[in-house]
Structure 1
Amino acid sequence: MGKTALLFPGQGSQQVGMGKDFFDQVPISKEIFQKANERLDFDLTSIIFNGPQEELTLTYNAQPALLTTSAAIFEALKQYEVVFDYVAGHSLGEYTALVAANVMTVEDAVYVVRKRGELMEKAVPAGEGSMAAVLGMVQEELENITKQISNEGTLVQLANLNCPGQIVISGTKEGVQRAGELAKEKGAKRVIPLEVSGPFHSELMKPAASELSKVLDEVTIQDASVPVIANVTAAPVQNKDEIKSLLIEQLYSPVRWEESVRSMIQAGVTTFIEIGAGKVLTGLVKKVDRSVKTYNIFDLSSLEAVVHDIKEV
């Protein structure tokens, strides 16, 4: 029988109203939202459920909001005793994966990602950094382009290796723009600027990484109860010290999502369940390998449908 992996989305998947039916109808999920409010000492749930979208999208709100919502849905799923063998999350989503693997409490994780969002916002002044998705280009070719532009004095690098033909670049505004232009000249199908507030997963985030290390010192980190596929290495990790070190590196390193998915498939995973707002990650999984089964749990009816399907198997 094939193995199951739980996936947790990152920034960009946030939607006003996400998780509201769990808050209203599942007491254990409602507790997660309340714990997040208490730990952050402000009404995060009001921003999640009522918006406005612009406020929810701010990095330091979006990160704890997505984590809280996914963790609340995960708690509801746990009641059905669904067995899973691996967890993974995209960028911020890795923290939710760590909550699912009992590495951190949800309260501590919410606190860390709120601080992480603030540090990411502070690391590079607004308008100086950017990110763009490059479609239809081979990784090696794009990497050569980013190295060429960086060597010319404007930093840009690969940030998210999402799936075949979809790579996000990150760096200075000028570096990303020049790399995008050169990529198009060399055959990229499209270059899409991303609406983000900074050059995430680039060397420009190193100042934030040293500060994040101090934040992680404030919380308890334990060994993982199931293997977590780390963004930085695309390999399973369970040791608490290694997890902490990888979380710091993750801020300025590429998210190796395609490799992570391949690594889980190679380990025998045949079912991927994305937990939280949106369907971005299952979409990427399908682009890596169409033969695997994918599910999304984003509201109560999808939770019931997924549990029914999995239990039938």
Structure 2
Amino acid sequence: MKKFAFIFAGQGSQNIGMGKDFYENFSAATLLLNDACNNTGIDYKELLFTQNDNLDKTEFTQPAIVLNSLMSYLAFSDFIKAKPEFSLGHSLGEFTALAVSGAFSFLDAIRLVNLRGKFMQEACMGKDAGMMVVLGLSDEVVEEICKNAQNEGLKIYAANYNCDGQIVVAGVRADLASYESKFKEAGAKRAMLLNMSVASHCPILEPASNRLAGELEGILSTDFAPVVSNVNAKIYTDKSEALVLLKEQLIKPVYYKQSIKNYESKVDCFIELGAATLKGINKKITDKPTYSVTDMASLEEVVKILEER
């Protein structure tokens, strides 16, 4: 059996119909979705499987993505009993990684990220929050531009280190728009505002970070299987570390590419469960292959690949 790591996508990976194959074909996935409906009062069958406007609203998007990823995990586990060397997620995906690693129950994870989405939305309310993707600049140049903006009293922060030449910055939307030309003058191939009303992984979310921390104490397990932190790109395995790192996760950048680079030598491949978002990013970071499990056909294909000798 090939050595593998699980990876989980975050907000932006959602689509109508996700998880339906697994809900219809695996009793554990069916039970989880039904229990999630009863536990949160959200109709996840309608949210995931029918056309609606709620799937793109942060408080619904986040639990929907985590639920879909967990259903994918349950389907995968029906075929493959081997455990990953470690798990990691991009932003929201870290909470899915924690759930499959035993840090808290699946239902607690879904409930928690529903609150996370609400807390984020409320923290950004009235603050004209937004995010911008910047392509074609080094980390150092983007960081220097952000520092200059902050020295001018503007709220612009490096938020997601996706891969070389791709960083997402977060802050006040008007500030970001005013600095679009600065990024382009520095050589950016593109600097484009994203269709988002929150500013993830920056100080604007400090109120949300504090509220989320208050929810964690009662649900975290004492220890769990290895998870790579977005905050420092290092593995953590216990509650005391998790309480510190997850409080910081909303206000610190996501070191995704650094996480992959730090631990790629431990695995033969990466398995993205529930989406195919990180697969493309990984191609720009590592030579190790990434396989995505999003439906029955891709599940069967990945199982076959993993069992090849």
Question: 1:194, CA displacement in angstroms?
Answer: 1.1
Residue matched to 2:306: 310
* Aligned residues: CA RMSD: 1.4
Partner of 1:235: 234
Which runs of structure 1 show a deviation greater than 3 angstroms over 4 or more consecutive aligned residues?
A: none
Query: How far, CA to CA, are the matches of 1:205 and 1:71 in structure 2?
Result: 26
Residues 157 and 78 from structure 1, CA distance in 2 versus in 1: closer, same or farther, beyond 3 angstroms? same
Normalised to the residue count of structure 2, the TM-score between the two structures is 0.96
- Structure 2 partner of 1:294: 290
User: What do residues 94-151 of structure 1 show as CA deviations (whole Å, max 9, x unaligned)?
Assistant: 0100111011101101111000000000001256111000000011011110110111
- How far the C-alpha of 1:285 sits from its partner, in A, is 0.9
* Residues 192-211 of structure 1: pairs in structure 2 closer than 5 A: 192-211=192-211
The count of residues paired between Structure 1 and Structure 2 equals 308
For residues 1-313 of structure 1, the aligned pairs below 5 Å read 3-52=3-52, 54-80=53-79, 81-126=81-126, 128-225=128-225, 227-266=226-265, 268-277=266-275, 279-289=276-286, 291-313=287-309
Q: Is the 8 A contact 1:108 1:219 kept in 2?
A: yes
Structure 2 unmatched ranges of 5 or more: none
Q: CA deviation at 1:280?
A: 1.6
Q: Does the residue aligned with 1:131 lie in a helix, a strand or coil?
A: strand
Distance in 2 (alpha carbons) for counterparts of 1:218 and 1:43:
26
Secondary structure, aligned partner of 1:224: strand
Aligned equivalents of 2:126 and 2:297: distance in 1? 40
Secondary structure, in 3 states, of the residue corresponding to 1:255? coil
Whether contact under 8 Å (2:159, 2:169) holds in the other structure is: yes
Take 1:214 and 1:51, find their aligned partners in 2: how far apart are those partners?
34
CA distance in 2, matches of 1:74, 1:116: 22
Which amino acid in 2 is paired with 1:21? Answer: D
Give the letter aligned to residue 41 of structure 1. G
Q: How far is 1:244 from its partner?
A: 2.1
Q: Which digits, 9 at most, give the CA deviation of each residue in 1:220-259, with x for residues without a partner?
A: 433112x101100101110111112211100011000010
Q: Deviations over 1:37-78 (max 9, x none)?
A: 1221221221111131x3101000010000001001101111
CA contact (8 A) 1:146 1:179 kept: no
Checking the alignment, whether the CA contact within 8 Å between 1:149 and 1:178 is kept in structure 2 is: no
* Same amino acid, percent of matched pairs: 35
Normalising by the residue count of structure 1, what TM-score does the alignment of the two structures yield?
A: 0.95
Gaps of 5+ in 1: none
- Would you say the 8 A contact 1:127–1:197 is kept in 2? no
